């Protein structure tokens, strides 16, 4: 097996290569003075099982992913898998208002054209795999996050909304702790409302587990309720620490700890999702 890492996922590709015990392929990836991307794969790929690892966020990385896919397909591999640790645009999975473009449909169709398989990590919703030509496979980092949270003495794991119930349940099951969830209404891109819910959290250590932290609004609103109800410690755990609009600076004073995985490298990405992906690739 050969692993080709794009520039958005170099560390993740390295972690995956080491998990799989295989060599990384040599590449040349540069940006021209006008910002356009150039890619070349130097390692011969013919007859190899090739895995490309490259995020699709922000937009420039999407173009790089597509160019690398083209170069790999030209190399005539025996099999071709694309791993997209953080799949951008997954949240626009339908037209919420008439006239909207459905971004996950566009990206799903484009990114699944050449490979045999597209592997994602905690994609926002697997319903969008209907646009991946039957090639989409998702793995979850929630078991590894759950294990980590168990080590932190967490008593309860909460989903901040109904959309993450399955994910947070998986984390709670792995941690062997109780589970509950909030109900969230999104008011705008950066504002959310979390309905008040009676919860017995006094003196407890509680973790909120979600797929993405973007502006941090969801996590902060949920934490406020837990603090009001007397939680002793509140932790934020997510697979993808996107941290837009200085989110991390606003999260730090609210949480005892903020934890994310390495799908998007940052100071909080202390846990690796690579072993979960490797397990799937080995299977």
CB 247 within 8 A of CB 237: no
Does residue 214 belong to the site contacting ligand R5P (CB under 6 A)?
A: yes
Q: How far is CA 259 from the centre of its chain?
A: 13
Which residue among 146, 210, 231, 263 contacts ligand R5P (CB under 6 A)?
A: 210
CA distances from residue 22 to 84, 97, 238 in whole angstroms, order as listed = 19, 46, 28
**CB of residue 149 vs ligand R5P: minimum separation in angstroms?**
18
**CB of residue 118 vs ligand R5P: minimum separation in angstroms?**
20
Helix or strand run (H / E) with residue 151? helix 142-151
Does residue 262 belong to the site contacting ligand R5P (CB under 6 A)?
A: no
Does residue 205 belong to the site contacting ligand R5P (CB under 6 A)?
A: no
Tokens for 174, please give them. Answer: 């792995």
- Alpha-carbon distance 264 to 133, whole Å? 26
Residues 1-20 that bind ligand R5P (CB under 6 A): none
Residue whose CB is less far from ligand R5P, 56 or 218? 218
Does residue 241 belong to the site contacting ligand R5P (CB under 6 A)?
A: no
Residue whose CB is less far from ligand R5P, 77 or 160? 160
- Cα–Cα nearest to 122, from 136, 108, 110: 136
Which residue among 218, 225, 272, 273 contacts ligand R5P (CB under 6 A)?
A: 218
- Alpha-carbon distance 50 to 46, whole Å? 9
Does residue 65 belong to the site contacting ligand R5P (CB under 6 A)?
A: no
- Show the CA angle centred on residue 82, arms to residues 279 and 120, nearest 5°: 60
- Alpha-carbon distance 166 to 150, whole Å? 18
Tokens for 5, please give them. Answer: 């890492």
Backbone angles phi, psi at 164, to 5 degrees: -105, 15
Does residue 122 belong to the site contacting ligand R5P (CB under 6 A)?
A: no
- Alpha-carbon distance 278 to 194, whole Å? 36
Interface with ligand R5P by CB under 6 A: which range of 7-15, 138-146, 157-165, 194-202? 157-165
Residues in the chain: 283
Concerning whether 193 is annotated as a catalytic residue, the answer is no
- Cα–Cα nearest to 55, from 113, 13, 21, 24: 13
**CB of residue 220 vs ligand R5P: minimum separation in angstroms?**
8
Does residue 217 belong to the site contacting ligand R5P (CB under 6 A)?
A: yes
- Active site residue: 184, 204, 229, 252, which one? 184
**Helix, strand, or coil (residue 150):** helix
Interface with ligand R5P by CB under 6 A: which range of 34-42, 65-73, 160-168, 171-179? 160-168
Which residue among 19, 48, 64, 211 contacts ligand R5P (CB under 6 A)?
A: 211
Which residue among 112, 140, 164, 261 contacts ligand R5P (CB under 6 A)?
A: 164
Residue whose CB is less far from ligand R5P, 32 or 96? 96
Kindly list the catalytic residues.
184
Residues that bind ligand R5P in the complex, under the rule CB under 6 A: 160-161, 163-164, 192, 210-218
């Amino acid at each position: 097996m050969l692993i080709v890492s794009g520039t958005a996922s170099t560390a993740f590709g390295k972690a995956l290569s080491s998990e799989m015990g295989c060599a990384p392929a040599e590449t040349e990836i540069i940006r021209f003075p006008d910002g356009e991307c150039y890619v070349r794969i130097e390692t011969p790929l013919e007859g190899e099982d090739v895995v490309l690892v490259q995020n699709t966020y922000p937009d420039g990385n999407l173009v790089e992913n597509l160019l690398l896919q083209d170069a790999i397909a030209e190399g005539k591999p025996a099999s071709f898998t694309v791993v997209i640790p953080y799949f951008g645009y997954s949240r626009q999975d339908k037209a919420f208002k008439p006239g909207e473009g459905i971004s996950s449909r566009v990206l799903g169709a484009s990114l699944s054209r050449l490979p045999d398989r597209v592997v994602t990590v905690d994609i926002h919703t697997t319903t969008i795999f209907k646009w991946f030509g039957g090639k989409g496979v998702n793995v979850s980092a929630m078991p590894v996050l759950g294990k980590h949270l168990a080590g932190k003495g967490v008593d309860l794991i909460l989903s901040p909304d109904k959309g993450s119930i399955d994910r947070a349940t998986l984390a709670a099951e792995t941690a062997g702790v109780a589970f509950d969830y909030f109900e969230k209404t999104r008011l705008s891109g950066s504002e959310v409302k979390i309905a008040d819910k009676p919860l017995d959290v006094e003196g407890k250590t509680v973790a909120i587990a979600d797929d993405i932290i973007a502006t941090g609004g969801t996590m902060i609103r949920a934490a406020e309720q837990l603090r009001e109800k007397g939680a002793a410690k509140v932790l934020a755990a997510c697979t993808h620490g996107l941290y837009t609009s200085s989110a991390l600076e606003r999260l730090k004073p609210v949480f005892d700890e903020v934890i994310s995985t390495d799908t998007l490298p940052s100071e909080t990405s202390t846990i690796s999702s690579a072993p979960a992906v490797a397990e799937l690739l080995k299977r």
